[in-house]
Amino acid sequence: MNALKEGWFSELSTMWPGECFSLKVKQVLHEEKSKFQDILVFDSENYGRVLVLDGVIQQTERDECAYQEMMAHIPLAALKTDPKKVCVIGGGDGGVVREILKHPSVEEVHLCEIDEGVVNASKKFLPHMNMSFESPKLKLHIYDGAVFLKEHKNCFDVVIVDSSDPVGPASSLFGPEFYKSCKEALNENGILCTQAESMWLHLDIIAGMKDFIVDIFPNVSYSTISIPTYPSGAIGFFICSKDESNDVKVAKRTEWFESAKDTLQYYNPGLHASSFVLPLFASRRLGLKQ
């Protein structure tokens, strides 16, 4: 791959023109061209093992906790009732599933990943994710997530869309038809959490998404987190509830946290709330309540 040169990996993409993030490579462990994308796994000098799809970092051992924990625990903790059935679209590395399983009330997690190559590479080379794939609560579907949701109406307490950027195999997950399918797949008080880019790089994309999401969901908020190896060092989520009265910025369920906090590195109920406080440039552009 062109991104690997002289012992370094450089994240080159038109999604962030004029800049890139680089990591020193200790050893390349896996390179594959799947049916859908290029898959790369390598050991880095400072961030442990790294998973890369189509030249874009998806996770590193050192900082994946920020993304996986917040993406899972914000929507699950924001529910007014205990979650029982959760769907993850994308997320073939298994990290979000790992975090969901820390909620004892969850009975089923449906993981729908279109690229089996991502699942297989994660099972083999990302051992800190392997526990999630072995859980009897996990139902793995190698399938198109957009189609899967259309086939499962009123099924889930929470739907989590752990997608890559809106290019390649994830492009179908960023339009209004997909969000309508997400809403229909949720039960009457369900919550959607979806990856929604960086406010520092993609504010126009985020604002465009917000414009159609607020026509679909009665309750829409935007949360942002710090994560060093994602473009600009930040990533955001749309948190959308079918229950207009549910303040998703507040963690209502905290008993699971007391039993799981020794296994957590990033999420806590205070950070849950503060992640929705946006800088003025972003809050002005998005026009969402804070």
Task: Enumerate the active-site residues.
Answer: 162
Residue 194: name the closest of 274, 80, 90, 77 by CA.
90
Residue carrying the six token digits 């499962």: 152
- Residues facing 8 on adjacent strands: 5, 24
Q: What angle do CA 130, 86, 164 make, to 5 degrees?
A: 65
Cα–Cα distance measured from residue 226 to residue 148, given in angstroms and rounded to the nearest whole number: 31
Residue 235: name the closest of 209, 204, 197 by CA.
197
